[in-house]
A and B are shown apart, each in its own frame.
Chain A
Amino acid sequence: MLRVFRDLFRYNREFAIGTILVLIVLSLAVASFFSPYPPQDSYVVPPDVPPCWAYPLGTNSRGQDVFWQLTVAMRNSLLFGIAVAFLSRIISLVIGLVSGYAGGVVDRVLMSINDTFVVLPLFPILTLFYFMMHDHMSWTLLALAMASLGWPYDARLIRSVALSLRNREFTTQSVFSGMSTSQILLGEHLPYALPIVISTTINNINWSIGLEVTLSVIGFTNIETPTIGTMIYWANQHTAMVAGIWWWVLAPVATVIMAFIGLFLLSVSINEFIDPRSRLARMGA
């Protein structure tokens, strides 16, 4: 496993750059545990101080150290994105594989449900959700809501893989070897679906962080929790750009862009590596 990682790092430039960027972002997130200030407190340091030795990214108008805020914000956003991606992956895998393999009525019913979810407009629904939930709004609830809306595209992709595999002769041979349906789906078909699963997971993380940022900037989430989006929200509230406190806006924006690009590069390079065709070429088929 380690050798694979090392080979990828050495020979694939996208993987190398992606890994470096993601490591930077991850180390920021991990650093959050060492924050000297409780993240939700305000006015713990002098406000509006530009970046200097004592405060590497400056302080904001709420009297918080931007650097330490950023670490907590990145951690929360990442956790949120990963949670949503993980939950929606499970849904899309199950629906995609079962639908593609079973065919017939099961396929038609599942795909009708799928297509219904595809056309739902996400943003208005989430906004409506916020207005309905209001005080009971929590991150868990938001994650669940987004996970249940973010699976349909990928389910169709996985289904197409399952469809093409269903008619291949090794599937029949697996059936005649006595394997059960779940064994076939997980053992035989999943390796073919993995490239899609991995790249869509990473894209999904990007998507959910993006959506979270959008909702937070408008103020539709719990703005007391520091996340990338809420940092930008507070910066807007205090008209940071006009007041000249540029470091407050730059820090989260730059970090989240770094996270996006890093994750994207990783997904592209891992995808190429896991793709069955390239695996077969490496094995020497």
Chain B
Amino acid sequence: MNDLLSVEHVTRIFALGGLLGRGQFAAVDDVSFSLKSAHPEIFAIIGESGSGKTTLARMVLNTLAPSKGLIRFLGDDISRFRGRRDRLQFMQKVQPIFQNPYEAFNPLKRVDRYLFASAYYFMERRSRDAREAAADEALRKVGLSLAEVKGRFPHELSGGQLQRASIARALISSPALIVADEPVSMVDASLRMSIVNLFKTLRDELKVSIIYITHDLATAYYISDRVLIMQKGKVVETGPARQVLSDPQRPYTILLRESILSPDDVDKAQPGVAARKDKRFANE
């Protein structure tokens, strides 16, 4: 049985500078992990900015090619997918969700356009009614309905609704894997949990595996099965979520864990000042 996704020693190098003094840096450096097809899971990739997590996501989605290493999806090397038909087949099974719900939709176009296009291309629904039915079905899975979304422009919906519409669009093709890049960081706190809960439903009821990329350890702890911690392009630690986050082994993971703010800190006499004295925070 093939792995659903197998990332093998993937490295991505970017060139810096102009004609003189060209430098290089590795945004992603020898990262490997794999997701099994047998049972769907939520796999969290945790890292700060500059850790390479977004670059890794783009490589998994096949919008960026690795400089070294290989990514396999269901056994096939995805860099071989060049022609339109191959790419459509791949996209049908692997879908993205973006960080900024307002940027994910063209502000001048209506939101249902992307839902109908997905239904048209991935489900071969040619007639208008069939497309609307497919869109409505997907929207209901995320707690919305076509009536709420039809004919609306992005600015007429809230961040939470837009993000859920994005998820519905990704679900139309019945994908096996969803790559979500910081899906709730730009959504308001009060709407955040509904989307995080939705991911749980996607895994449990619709059997979709999710790569959940975030810098927020609290939500990662709440829903993921396994985590991968990245720093400056390298893998720092990986393993089952509860284990890594409750009992971190590596210094960087320990640092991340201790940097989390908690609402209970309000009871401390001088919140945050204790951190000042800790030398680890002095430089970066």
Find out whether A and B make contact in their complex, taking CB atoms under 8 A apart as touching.
yes
Residues of A within 8 A of B (CB): 168-170, 172-180, 183, 187-188, 191-192, 276, 279-280, 283-285
Q: Which of A169, A179, A276 contacts B103 (CB 8 A)?
A: A169
Q: CB distance B109 to A176 under 8 Å?
A: no
Shortest distance from the beta carbon of A220 to any chain B beta carbon, whole Å: 45
Q: Which of B105, B108, B166 contacts A279 (CB 8 A)?
A: B108
Q: CB distance B153 to A178 under 8 Å?
A: no
Q: Which of B84, B95, B104, B155 contacts A170 (CB 8 A)?
A: B104
Q: CB distance B98 to A172 under 8 Å?
A: yes
Q: For the complex, what is the distance from the CA of A188 to the CA of B154, rounded to whole Å? A: 14
A180 to chain B: closest residue by CB: B84
B24 at the interface (CB under 8 A from A): no
Interface set, chain B 131-185, CB cutoff 8 A to A? 153-156, 166, 169-170
Q: CB distance A283 to B96 under 8 Å?
A: no
Q: CB distance A177 to B98 under 8 Å?
A: no
Whether A280 contacts B98 in the complex (CB less than 8 A), given A176-B91, A177-B121, comes out as no
Q: CB distance A172 to B96 under 8 Å?
A: yes
* Chain B residues within 8 Å of A279, by CB: 108
Q: Which of A177, A280, A283, A284 contacts B117 (CB 8 A)?
A: A177
Shortest distance from the beta carbon of A219 to any chain B beta carbon, whole Å: 49
Q: CB distance A178 to B107 under 8 Å?
A: no
Q: CB distance B107 to A280 under 8 Å?
A: yes
B194 at the interface (CB under 8 A from A): no
B170 to chain A: closest residue by CB: A176
Residues of B within 8 A of A (CB): 61, 63, 84, 88, 91, 95-96, 98-100, 103-109, 113-115, 117-118, 120-122, 153-156, 166, 169-170
B84, B95, B114 interface centre (most CB from chain A within 10 Å): B114
* Chain A residues within 8 Å of B61, by CB: 176
* Chain A residues within 8 Å of B98, by CB: 169, 172-173
* Chain B residues within 8 Å of A176, by CB: 61, 91, 95-96, 118, 170
Q: For the complex, what is the distance from the CA of A191 to the CA of B113, rounded to whole Å? A: 15
B98 to chain A: closest residue by CB: A169
Q: CB distance B103 to A170 under 8 Å?
A: yes
Q: CB distance A179 to B155 under 8 Å?
A: no
Q: CB distance A174 to B108 under 8 Å?
A: no
* Chain B residues within 8 Å of A283, by CB: 153, 155
Further contacts, 14 of them, CB under 8 A, given A187-B109, A280-B107, A285-B153: A169-B103, A170-B104, A170-B105, A173-B105, A174-B117, A176-B95, A176-B118, A177-B115, A177-B118, A178-B88, A178-B91, A178-B121, A192-B108, A285-B155
* Chain A residues within 8 Å of B63, by CB: 172, 175
Whether A285 contacts B107 in the complex (CB less than 8 A), given A172-B98, A176-B91, A178-B91, comes out as yes
Q: CB distance A179 to B121 under 8 Å?
A: yes
Whether A191 contacts B108 in the complex (CB less than 8 A), given A169-B100, A178-B117, comes out as yes
Q: Which of A170, A175, A183, A284 contacts B106 (CB 8 A)?
A: A170
Q: CB distance A168 to B95 under 8 Å?
A: no
Q: CB distance A174 to B103 under 8 Å?
A: no
Shortest distance from the beta carbon of B162 to any chain A beta carbon, whole Å: 11
* Chain A residues within 8 Å of B117, by CB: 174, 177-179, 183
* Chain A residues within 8 Å of B103, by CB: 168-170
* Chain A residues within 8 Å of B105, by CB: 170, 173
Q: CB distance A178 to B155 under 8 Å?
A: no
B156 to chain A: closest residue by CB: A284
Q: CB distance B114 to A173 under 8 Å?
A: yes
Shortest distance from the beta carbon of B145 to any chain A beta carbon, whole Å: 20
Shortest distance from the beta carbon of B102 to any chain A beta carbon, whole Å: 9
A178 to chain B: closest residue by CB: B121
Q: For the complex, what is the distance from the CA of A168 to the CA of B109, rounded to whole Å? A: 14
B113, B117, B153 interface centre (most CB from chain A within 10 Å): B117
B100 to chain A: closest residue by CB: A169
* Chain B residues within 8 Å of A276, by CB: 107-108
A168, A170, A175, A283 interface centre (most CB from chain B within 10 Å): A170
* Chain B residues within 8 Å of A172, by CB: 63, 96, 98
